[in-house]
Structure 1
């Protein structure tokens, strides 16, 4: 196809209106990916990079989290992981293994439905309700990525049960409950790691406004030309992620991309940009990405994004006053929810663009 004859906007619109998603393209047996999915060389240049020595994100055992003897050690582990890595896995978190397995299978079952069946959920209303789509930033980015998503806003108001796809309805509601419990436990530990009262972040309603997103990364016939998801940081407070056994998630640590190897029974937690801001840089959000899937089995991940729903009462967000002092002045300015939301929906996913906007210049 000659570049002069290629109308990207028209091709994007045609793909979107087909409601097939990349799973539909993959299932159709294509051997080459459409041009809208081909990424520039600078994005693809380090796909083969790997750390100089085998490593992995920290794995933290929560089995003794209520023990007065063991809790301080766990607090320190969580604190260091959030400062040094921004990513960690928790095990023995209290969620039954059967719940994890059923959640993954249910989201996979949705994505395995015929695209004609899924099409009734296909839309682009990102801010509420239930939405199935391919690439939430499809019209805001220069190159689409090889994934589809089922998104459901689970709070402050849960969607009507009948609005959730029947094939994964019970599992989505159950996972929202269990993942929120894991997030609240982790946030208590993160609070205590900063010398705050354990319930401080819950008081700030970090877990009330939350979105569940079930991603599917189907087989890609040309994985060296595209991405599953491009490098980015999450704009949220905290992200809780559950994944199946198909690899692909990578985290930037230093100058290397580190594979996040699936641990059966493990739940991944990562720091979002908003948590970096409100902790005045004590905890750090980090870049992560997903490689395009070269395996015949789909990669499935279920993510819940936790967001603040209120703040000081005056409508402004910023570093927690309790963490500021003459020795530790604010490194980020206050901002409004409107400013934060406009930044996210005004572009494709990226790395710390909002943090850069609110950073106080020396």
Structure 2
């Protein structure tokens, strides 16, 4: 009588070589756009999210659409009558939501549209054209920056450049020509707008208007164009995992394909981008140096179920004067007997080791520095 063999779920899981599959995916240098273009109808196993994430992926019709992040009008921002109102609105949004959209920001709509289209054009080039920019360490184009650390990969590719400080910034001639002019222009516009908003944030908590700028909150800038192509099984993965941003503030523009969600209370709230608006969110370091006056908020991107790709151009602002200051922490002006420091001082090594040793996550540095 022949022996029978029973294959258990445990056997199947133990025989799956996840790292091998990831390396094969990485070696193609085609990202998830390449997977989509190949015509696959099911996603590779290493993209499937764990049960605790899948349980939160309600159908779009069941997500919270009754709320949206605050929309703040920056028109006449320098008028004595209008500015105090804007300061109060931004202060409230940064405390309660951690996210807000600004309109009438003086960035030409044509600049926003051209920047978005340039990054779309890069990602939609043939794979062999993009491949020369691909790399985990030194490349500007890749997929899933944390794919070897994360529990599951997510359905997006990206193109990134360091724009500042000078010693770290990409050489202009090394930016792919298809996005070169637009990336340089967008960095200039985004920096000016971010510094205007930082002035309002300073005023909202009683700081000197230029305090965040003097601290170098806009001195380090990383520009990232995330591309979210159609996913054949959007109920099994994410476009970007839940996380908070590590730096001081983040500036984002996108096309009108939905996907961004923020955690507000217990709900995941869909962010409905307004045409021509610019989205801001508070990042972890600003929460720390503001001594908790402003809050970074967990956010994620749903996997794209639309045939049209979603594109987001995100510029991450960060501190740059580490050598000058040595360490950072809650600003002395915001610490008192009534409101003691909530976080300890930290150094650049604390910050970098927390970013690069793991997958992207939510407030891990904030939590480590809590007193």
TM-score range, shorter chain: over 0.9
Q: Is the 8 A contact 1:251 1:288 kept in 2?
A: yes
CA distance in 2, matches of 1:22, 1:242: 21
CA distance in 2, matches of 1:196, 1:261: 32
- Give the match for residue 137 of structure 1: 146
Corresponding residue SS for 1:335: coil
Q: What whole-Å deviation, never above 9, does each CA across 1:132-167 have from its counterpart, x for those lacking one?
A: 110011111120000000010000023212210111
Match of 1:152 among 154, 161, 168: 161
**1:95 lines up with 2:104 in the alignment:** no
Q: Moved runs in structure 1, 4+ residues, more than 2 A?
A: 1-5, 49-53, 311-314
**1:39 lines up with 2:53 in the alignment:** no
Q: Is the 8 A contact 1:239 1:272 kept in 2?
A: yes
Q: Is the 8 A contact 1:147 1:218 kept in 2?
A: yes
1:3 Cα deviation after fit: 2.6
- Give the match for residue 5 of structure 2: none
**Unaligned stretches of 5+ residues in structure 2:** 1-8
- Give the match for residue 95 of structure 2: 83
1:314 Cα deviation after fit: 4.4
CA distance in 1, matches of 2:27, 2:151: 18
CA distance in 2, matches of 1:284, 1:214: 24
CA gap 1:276/1:324 in 2 versus in 1, 3 angstroms? same
Q: Is the 8 A contact 2:252 2:280 kept in 1?
A: yes
**Unaligned stretches of 5+ residues in structure 1:** none
1:9 Cα deviation after fit: 0.9
CA distance in 2, matches of 1:277, 1:294: 36
**1:27 lines up with 2:59 in the alignment:** no
1:312 Cα deviation after fit: 8.5
CA distance in 2, matches of 1:115, 1:51: 35
**1:350 lines up with 2:349 in the alignment:** no
CA distance in 1, matches of 2:287, 2:299: 16
CA gap 1:121/1:53 in 2 versus in 1, 3 angstroms? closer
1:52 Cα deviation after fit: 5.8
Q: Is the 8 A contact 2:64 2:268 kept in 1?
A: no
Q: Is the 8 A contact 1:145 1:230 kept in 2?
A: yes
- Give the match for residue 317 of structure 1: 328
- Give the match for residue 13 of structure 1: 23
Correspondence list, 1:268-279, <5 A: 268-279=279-290
Q: What whole-Å deviation, never above 9, does each CA across 1:160-184 have from its counterpart, x for those lacking one?
A: 1221011111000010111111100
Q: Is the 8 A contact 1:204 1:311 kept in 2?
A: no
Q: Is the 8 A contact 1:152 1:213 kept in 2?
A: yes
CA distance in 1, matches of 2:28, 2:64: 43
Larger radius of gyration: 2
Corresponding residue SS for 2:39: coil
1:54 Cα deviation after fit: 1.1
Q: Is the 8 A contact 2:64 2:270 kept in 1?
A: no
1:282 Cα deviation after fit: 0.4
CA distance in 1, matches of 2:91, 2:229: 35
Match of 1:258 among 269, 277, 286: 269
1:46 Cα deviation after fit: 1.2
How many residues are paired up?
357
Corresponding residue SS for 1:250: strand
> What TM-score, normalized by structure 1, do the two folds share?
0.96
